[in-house]
């Protein structure tokens, strides 16, 4: 059954983060990821209160977790990434790229660029904030308004997490990112994918962005009527977007349904208390709980009034509230089990009954238990309670993380605007008209226009032209297709089909020089275009092979003696007068002429032998 | 008139933006109007190209100040503010950083502090530390004495640029301390989540409450925030322009360190005692500190010491200057002006017996500064000239831990 997104009041926006292909934004470190580690250090971060005593919501929640961060330094980081030296002046090349992107999207560029500090205290920035600047506003891509174009620093790369300690590599920290945010005017999950693709294409058209896994990240925000705005971070693949959005819509529908059934229960939920129910499990068969109790831990429980049947899923089981509870508990370092899924995991029906009795659960009530140290179990259940209270109001505004399977999990509450303040260590940058005029002249061809032009100029299909532009092989294509006019279809086939096939087979890349050599051979009619594929594969498998060897090995037919003799006779006939004058001295100049037309088709030694024989014959006769 | 904090509507072409007027960055173009958009971003617009309408005057917002309850069961610590950003909080609206002027405001910056003590906050000055003068050291010392004699250890929050100078000055001035004077600063301002201020300040409180009566500087030991070092006021120097672990004890190990809640005092240190603080705050301010460089001419040297009543030279290696300056130095010492030799190497001691230039300098009446840091010797000479009758004798005597007799192999950071 398809979902009618329009009827649900579906609204989605995209935030695309693209790494730029230049050194870091505020220092000269290379933007290269590495596994080496030259030094480590350890920090904590804390939220800082504003004058009004306000602490950002998201920051406060993170601070509650009290985590410690270990940073791994390498040759891709310096004192700036370690937050041991102030940022240097902004990378001009990165700024220029951001301006080019803004111009391509027809956006209004700021008269002056001001970097801000956006508070992020999950450790992914050593400073506790991300430096970000608004470059332009009010652009447009394919009919969708672009609300903002920002230039910012990428975060550190998480490489490990254990209990309360998170490890980050500093190599990625500070790589310049362009962030494109669309208005929430995207109509459907499929539409979102299309727009993301268009934006990606535009970014790549600058030829100044990084390519490959992890260099572009998509965040999507989505809401439906009676739901709420939810931001989903880190969608890696374009193809994942529709599924993730569809799932989010279902999740919101599920939560709306749960809220509907919880009406009037708010006060009761507020009163719920966390209790120690460890006594129930003294002789439990549940191996996990047994272990926890042996280690001196216990089982804590909380009653959730009115939640019976709602935790395990109502409309969409896979988007059950239980998943949300579990994630909130996980953030506090523990796990949970709830009455909708019990008895299970070795917990008996009798034990369930005892817990119900202890917590005074009625028919309509559910309970959640957590086994761990008393303190952690308590924290987990308080987090569950907090989430349960939100369930009354339906969908909480929050930030979620995209998972591989198209699902998402809770990350943090939606941060407020309170978390931004000026980065005073970086002077503002005036953007002048003449600078923009200069950039206007450097703007790359719009991808759509480029597709149309390539198709008509080189007489290839629209589809091939599109593929060439999408794959970013447009420069290579144009170079080869104009050099070997008349063979543009072969060039397209090489770039779009043969090379990817070779890559799939796991062989090394066939370099441009090799491709050029093959096309040269083709243009000289050394072989038919049908042989190109075979030759390419041979040369991929045998990187040191010359074209001649490849032709021989592939049985791409070179000329035989008779054909060579025929060609040589023709050359001699054509130069009759010259030969009569020079006699045998004509041999050397004629060899040059012969080789010019026979190189690659026949062995030089054979050509020389045949030419000598034929020349003697000719002179004997004439 | 448009003022910072006003809510405005700005019309540029057919676009309308709303936001709050922000203070202009000093490097911002004078025609720029900077507004904070609802998204939190600052946006700059050329005033000449837009129409601005005030929607709501900003006015001054009242601070929400929660009173801090005095806790009888906890000790009292005096926190003197001199400027710097250790105990400050940010106004996210304007981005301005304000220092904590009272205990109440300190709760915004470092609420944890009240879990271990009561704080009497006292703002002495609002100076960037590069603007601090010897007269400020005297003010600091007098105010500190007042609290010390009330039985309250003192923490002085100080900008890091000249913190070591102030610490050295107070080290000489206090001839007896009932408890400690702890200097503390931050290399990352406290408006940042990564600030070292909190860890340093909490450590400073713990050191102030420990059984020690010294003037010390308490700052990060490494770039990790796990350990904080306790440096003697006369041996410490800022050795890096930006790192958290910029402060280093030179020619001596630190007194100790703080790890979490634990204060470890490994090095020599005086214990707390009853009694009153003895303060001798006098300073002879006409003392020159001359950094010798190759080719420094006699006239240049003369100009630098002209009118001075005492001179400290930061010489090369074991304590040398070009031989051509020796007659000038002799002239000074003959007229009763003490000249003290220290080394630019910072690490290691002056020894004027090894090379002929050193021996000539000794003959010319130069006083060896041994392993005193040049600026510490300079402060000491100022203090000695104002408080001691035998200047030479006092300069070569260890008064406040400024001269070490022995240096172990480990006492060198490369």
Asked if residues A30 and A76 have their Cβ atoms less than 8 Å apart, the reply is yes
Asked if residues A297 and A30 have their Cβ atoms less than 8 Å apart, the reply is no
Cα–Cα nearest to B2, from B65, B48, B50, B56 = B56
What is the pLDDT at residue A510?
82
Q: What is the dihedral of CA B154, B160, B161, B167, to 10 degrees?
A: 30
Per-residue pLDDT of chain B (414 residues; tens, 9 = 90+): 888 888 999 998 888 999 888 887 788 888 899 888 888 899 988 888 889 999 988 766 555 566 778 888 999 999 998 876 666 666 555 556 666 666 667 666 677 888 899 999 888 888 888 999 999 999 999 999 999 999 999 999 999 999 999 999 999 999 999 999 999 999 998 878 899 988 999 999 999 999 999 999 999 999 999 999 999 999 999 999 999 999 999 999 999 999 999 999 999 999 998 899 999 999 999 999 999 999 999 999 999 999 999 999 999 999 999 999 999 999 999 999 999 999 999 999 999 999 999 999 999 999 999 999 999 999 999 999 999 999 999 999 999 999 999 999 988 876
Q: Do residues A544 and A579 both lie within one domain?
A: no
Q: Do residues A200 and A223 both lie within one domain?
A: yes
Q: How confident is the model at residue A245 (pLDDT cuts 50, 70, 90)?
A: very high
Q: What percent of chain A is helix, strand and coil (3-state, nearest 5)?
A: 45, 20, 35
Q: Which of A350, A365, A394 is the last residue of a domain?
A: A394
Chain A residues within 8 A of B191 when measuring between CB atoms: 48, 421
Q: How many residues does chain B have?
A: 414
Region A419-441: mean pLDDT is: 91
* Fold: same for B76-279 and B287-395: yes
Instruction: Check CB contact under 8 Å for A49 and B191.
Output: no
Q: Give all strands of the β-sheet with B339-343 in edge-to-edge order.
A: B287-291, B310-315, B339-343, B367-368
Q: How confident is the model at residue A52 (pLDDT cuts 50, 70, 90)?
A: very low
Return the residue in B14, B42, B198, B200 with the most chain A beta carbons within 10 A, the one to mutate for interface testing.
B42
| B residues 238-297 lying closer than 8 A (beta carbon) to A | 242-244
Q: Cα–Cα distance between A353 and A349 in angstroms, integer?
A: 6
Instruction: Check CB contact under 8 Å for B224 and A418.
Output: no
Q: How far is CA B245 from CA A250, A334, B224, B374, in A?
A: 52, 36, 9, 21
> What is the CB-side half-sphere exposure of residue B250 using CA atoms within 13 A?
26
- The answer to whether B211 is a known catalytic residue is no
What is the pLDDT at residue A471?
86
Please classify residue A37 by burial: count the beta carbons closer than 10 Å to its beta carbon, then call 0-12 exposed, 13-18 middle and 19+ buried: middle
Q: Cα–Cα distance between A14 and A183 in angstroms, integer?
A: 8
Chain B residues within 8 A of A119 when measuring between CB atoms: 193
Please classify residue A460 by burial: count the beta carbons closer than 10 Å to its beta carbon, then call 0-12 exposed, 13-18 middle and 19+ buried: buried
| Domain membership of residue A507 as a residue range | 447-554
Q: Rg of the Cα trace of chain B?
A: 25
Instruction: Check CB contact under 8 Å for B193 and A59.
Output: yes
The ranges assigned to domains in chain B are 7-61, 76-279, 287-395
Q: Which two tokens mark A107?
A: 């956006």
- B365: cis peptide before it, omega within 30°? no
Lowest mean pLDDT among A79-88, A469-478, B256-265: A469-478
Decide if B18 touches A, using CB distance below 8 A.
no
**A253, part of any domain:** no
- The answer to whether B161 is a known catalytic residue is yes
How many CB atoms sit inside 10 A of residue A405's CB? 10
Instruction: Check CB contact under 8 Å for B91 and A51.
Output: yes
Query: Is residue B4 classed as helix, strand or coil in its secondary structure?
Result: coil
**One of B107, B160, B342, B343 is an active-site residue; which one?**
B160
Tell me which DSSP letter residue B189 carries: -
- The answer to whether B85 is a known catalytic residue is yes
Q: How far is CA A138 from the centre of its chain?
A: 25
Q: Do residues A506 and A378 both lie within one domain?
A: no
Return the residue in A56, A421, A424 with the most chain B beta carbons within 10 A, the one to mutate for interface testing.
A421
Span A444-455, pLDDT tens digits: 999 999 999 999
Chain B residues within 8 A of A110 when measuring between CB atoms: 43-45
Q: How far is CA A13 from the centre of its chain?
A: 17
CATH class of B7-61: mainly beta
Helices in A239-373 by DSSP H: which ranges?
A: 240-261, 266-270, 287-294, 321-331, 349-358
What is the pLDDT at residue A340?
94
Q: Do residues A381 and A505 both lie within one domain?
A: no
Instruction: Check CB contact under 8 Å for B40 and A116.
Output: yes
Q: Cα–Cα distance between B59 and A447 in angstroms, integer?
A: 50
- DSSP labels for A357-371? HHTT--TT-EEEEEE
Return the residue in A15, A41, A47, A48 with the most chain B beta carbons within 10 A, the one to mutate for interface testing.
A48
Region A387-406: mean pLDDT is: 93
Q: Cα–Cα distance between A243 and A246 in angstroms, integer?
A: 5
Asked if residues A585 and A546 have their Cβ atoms less than 8 Å apart, the reply is no
Decide if B109 touches A, using CB distance below 8 A.
yes
Q: Do residues A39 and A182 both lie within one domain?
A: yes
Q: How far is CA A175 from the centre of its chain?
A: 14
What is the pLDDT at residue B59?
65
Chain B residues within 8 A of A44 when measuring between CB atoms: 199, 225
**A102, part of any domain:** yes
Averaged pLDDT score across all residues of chain A? 90
Q: Which of A179, A199, A229 is the last residue of a domain?
A: A229
Q: What angle do CA B13, B18, B23 make, to 5 degrees?
A: 105
| Total domains in the fold of chain A | 4
Q: Do residues A485 and A607 both lie within one domain?
A: no
**Fold for the domain defined by B76-279:** Rossmann fold (3.40.50)
Cα–Cα nearest to A564, from A532, A600, A616, A530 = A600
Q: Cα–Cα distance between A51 and A40 in angstroms, integer?
A: 34
Q: Do residues A567 and A547 both lie within one domain?
A: no
H-run or E-run covering B341: strand B339-343
Query: Is residue A435 classed as helix, strand or coil in its secondary structure?
Result: helix
Chain A residues within 8 A of B29 when measuring between CB atoms: 111-112, 428, 430
Chain A residues within 8 A of B244 when measuring between CB atoms: 84
Tell me which DSSP letter residue A373 carries: S
Q: Cα–Cα distance between B205 and A286 in angstroms, integer?
A: 49
User: Which segments of B267-321 are extended strands (E)?
Assistant: 278-279, 287-291, 310-315
Lowest mean pLDDT among A143-152, A272-281, A341-350, B77-86: B77-86
What is the pLDDT at residue A525?
74
Instruction: Check CB contact under 8 Å for A79 and B226.
Output: no
**A421, part of any domain:** no
The ipTM value here is 0.91
**A111, part of any domain:** yes
Nearest CA in chain B to A114: B42
Ramachandran category for residue A353: left, alpha or beta (phi over 0 → left; psi -120 to 50 → alpha):
alpha
Q: Do residues A370 and A508 both lie within one domain?
A: no
Chain B residues within 8 A of A428 when measuring between CB atoms: 25, 27-29, 32, 44
**Fold for the domain defined by B287-395:** Rossmann fold (3.40.50)
Q: Cα–Cα distance between A358 and B97 in angstroms, integer?
A: 53
Q: Cα–Cα distance between A29 and A175 in angstroms, integer?
A: 9
> What is the CB-side half-sphere exposure of residue A405 using CA atoms within 13 A?
4
**A58, part of any domain:** yes
Tell how many helices (H) and how many strands (E) occur in chain B. 9, 23
Q: CB within 8 A of A562, min separation 6: which ones?
A: none
Q: Do residues A18 and A138 both lie within one domain?
A: yes
| DSSP-assigned beta bridge partners for residue A144 | A141
Instruction: Check CB contact under 8 Å for B25 and A43.
Output: no
- Give the closest of A43, A132, A419 to B194, CB-based: A43
Q: How confident is the model at residue A387 (pLDDT cuts 50, 70, 90)?
A: very high
Q: Do residues A176 and A323 both lie within one domain?
A: no
Decide if B44 touches A, using CB distance below 8 A.
yes
Span A99-118, pLDDT tens digits: 999 999 999 999 999 999 99
Q: Cα–Cα distance between A224 and A253 in angstroms, integer?
A: 9
Asked if residues A179 and A150 have their Cβ atoms less than 8 Å apart, the reply is yes
Q: Do residues A485 and A376 both lie within one domain?
A: no
Q: Do residues A386 and A483 both lie within one domain?
A: no
Q: Which two tokens mark B392?
A: 């030479």
Nearest CA in chain A to B191: A48
Residue A51, pLDDT > 60, answer no
- Give the closest of A42, A45, A49 to B194, CB-based: A45
Residue A424, pLDDT > 90, answer no
Region A414-440: mean pLDDT is: 87
Q: What angle do CA B193, B195, B196 make, to 5 degrees?
A: 145
Region A460-466: mean pLDDT is: 93
pTM of the model: 0.84
Instruction: Check CB contact under 8 Å for A48 and B89.
Output: yes
Cα–Cα nearest to A55, from B39, B18, B107, B79 = B107
């Amino acid at each position: 059954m398809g979902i009618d997104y329009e009827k649900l009041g579906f609204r989605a926006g995209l935030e695309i983060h693209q790494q730029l292909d230049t050194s870091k934004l505020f220092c000269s470190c290379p933007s290269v990821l590495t596994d080496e580690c030259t030094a480590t250090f350890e920090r904590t971060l804390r939220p800082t209160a504003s004058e009004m005593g306000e602490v950002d919501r998201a920051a406060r929640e993170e601070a509650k977790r009290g985590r410690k961060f270990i940073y791994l330094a390498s040759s891709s980081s310096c004192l700036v990434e370690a937050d041991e030296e102030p940022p240097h002046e902004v990378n001009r090349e990165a700024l220029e790229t951001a301006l080019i992107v803004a111009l391509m999207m027809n956006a209004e560029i700021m008269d002056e660029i001001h970097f801000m500090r956006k508070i992020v205290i999950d450790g992914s920035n050593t400073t506790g904030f991300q430096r970000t600047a608004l470059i332009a506003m009010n652009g447009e891509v394919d009919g969708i308004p672009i609300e903002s174009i920002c230039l910012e620093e990428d975060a550190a790369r998480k490489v490990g997490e254990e209990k309360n300690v998170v490890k980050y590599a500093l190599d990625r920290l500070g790589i310049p990112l362009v962030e494109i945010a669309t208005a929430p005017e995207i109509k459907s999950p499929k539409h979102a994918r299309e727009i993301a693709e268009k934006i990606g294409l535009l970014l790549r058209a600058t030829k100044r962005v990084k390519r490959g896994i992890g260099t572009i990240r998509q965040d999507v925000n989505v809401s439906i009527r009676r739901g709420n705005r939810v931001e989903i971070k880190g969608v890696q693949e374009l193809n994942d977007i529709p599924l993730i959005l569809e799932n989010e819509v279902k999740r919101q529908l599920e939560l709306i349904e749960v809220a509907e059934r919880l009406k009037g229960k708010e006060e009761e939920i507020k009163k719920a208390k966390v209790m120690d129910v460890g006594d129930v499990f003294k002789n439990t068969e549940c191996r996990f709980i047994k272990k926890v109790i042996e280690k001196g831990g216990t089982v804590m429980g909380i009653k959730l009034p009115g939640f019976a049947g709602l935790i395990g899923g109502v409309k969409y089981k896979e988007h059950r509230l239980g998943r949300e509870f579990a994630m909130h508990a996980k953030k506090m370092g523990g796990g949970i089990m709830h009455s909708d899924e019990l008895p299970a995991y070795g917990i008996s029906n009798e034990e369930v009954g005892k817990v119900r009795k202890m917590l005074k659960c009625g028919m309509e009530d559910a309970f959640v238990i957590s086994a761990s140290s008393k303190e952690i179990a308590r924290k987990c259940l308080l987090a569950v309670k907090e989430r349960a209270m939100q369930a009354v109001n339906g969908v909480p505004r929050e930030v979620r993380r995209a998972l591989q399977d198209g699902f998402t999990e809770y990350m943090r509450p939606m941060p407020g605007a309170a978390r931004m303040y000026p980065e005073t260590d970086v002077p503002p940058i005036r953007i002048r008209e003449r600078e923009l005029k200069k950039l206007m002249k450097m703007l790359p061809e719009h991808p759509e226009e480029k597709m149309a032009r390539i198709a008509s100029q080189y007489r290839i299909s629209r589809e091939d032209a599109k593929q060439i532009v999408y794959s970013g092989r447009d420069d290579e294509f144009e170079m080869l297709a104009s050099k070997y006019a008349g063979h543009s279809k072969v060039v397209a086939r090489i770039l779009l089909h043969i090379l990817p096939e070779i890559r799939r087979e796991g062989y090394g890349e066939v370099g441009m020089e090799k491709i050029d050599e093959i096309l040269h051979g083709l243009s000289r009619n050394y072989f038919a275009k049908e042989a190109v594929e075979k030759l390419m594969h041979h040369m991929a498998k045998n990187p040191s092979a010359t074209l001649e060897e490849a032709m021989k090995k592939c049985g791409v037919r070179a000329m035989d003696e008779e054909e060579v003799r025929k060609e040589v006779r023709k050359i001699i006939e054509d130069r009759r007068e010259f030969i009569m004058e020079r006699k045998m001295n004509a041999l050397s100049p004629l060899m040059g002429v012969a080789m010019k037309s026979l190189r690659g088709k026949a062995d030089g030694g054979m050509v020389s032998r045949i030419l000598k024989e034929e020349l003697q014959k000719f002179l004997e006769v004439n | 008139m448009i003022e910072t904090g006003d809510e405005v509507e700005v019309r540029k072409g057919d676009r309308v933006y709303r936001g709050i007027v922000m203070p202009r960055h000093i490097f911002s173009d004078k025609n720029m109007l900077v507004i904070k958009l609802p998204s939190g971003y600052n946006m700059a617009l050329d005033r000449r190209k837009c129409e601005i309408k005030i929607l709501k005057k900003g006015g001054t917002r009242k601070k929400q100040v929660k009173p801090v309850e005095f806790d009888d069961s906890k000790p009292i610590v005096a926190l003197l503010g001199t400027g710097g950003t250790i105990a400050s909080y940010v106004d996210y609206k304007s981005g301005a950083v304000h220092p904590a002027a009272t205990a109440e405001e300190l709760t915004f910056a470092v609420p944890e502090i009240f879990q271990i003590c009561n704080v009497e906050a006292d703002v002495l000055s609002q100076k960037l530390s590069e603007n601090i003068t010897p007269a400020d050291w005297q003010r600091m010392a007098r105010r500190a004495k007042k609290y010390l004699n009330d039985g309250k250890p003192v923490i002085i929050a100080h900008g890091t640029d000249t913190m070591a100078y102030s610490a050295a000055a107070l080290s000489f001035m206090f001839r007896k301390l009932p408890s400690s004077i702890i200097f503390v600063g931050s290399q990352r301002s406290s408006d940042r989540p990564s600030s070292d201020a909190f860890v340093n300040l909490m450590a400073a409180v713990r050191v102030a409450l420990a059984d020690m009566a010294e003037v010390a500087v308490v700052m990060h030991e490494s770039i990790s925030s796990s350990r904080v070092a306790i440096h003697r006021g006369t041996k410490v120097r800022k050795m890096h322009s930006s790192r958290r672990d910029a402060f280093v004890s030179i020619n001596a190990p630190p007194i100790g360190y703080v790890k979490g809640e634990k204060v470890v005092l490994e090095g020599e240190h005086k214990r707390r005692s009853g009694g009153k603080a003895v303060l001798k705050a006098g300073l002879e301010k006409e003392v020159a500190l001359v950094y010798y460089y190759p080719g420094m001419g006699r006239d240049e040297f003369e100009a630098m010491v002209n009118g001075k009543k005492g001179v400290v030279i930061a010489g090369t290696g074991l304590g040398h200057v070009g031989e051509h300056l020796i007659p000038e130095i002799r002239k000074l010492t003959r007229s009763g002006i003490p000249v003290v030799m220290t080394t630019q190497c910072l690490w290691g001691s002056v020894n004027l017996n090894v090379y002929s230039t050193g021996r000539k300098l000794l003959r010319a009446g130069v006083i060896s500064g041994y392993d005193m840091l040049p600026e510490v010797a300079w402060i000491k000479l100022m203090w000695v000239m104002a408080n001691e009758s035998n200047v030479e004798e006092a300069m070569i005597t260890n008064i406040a831990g400024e001269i070490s007799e022995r240096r172990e192999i480990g006492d060198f950071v490369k």
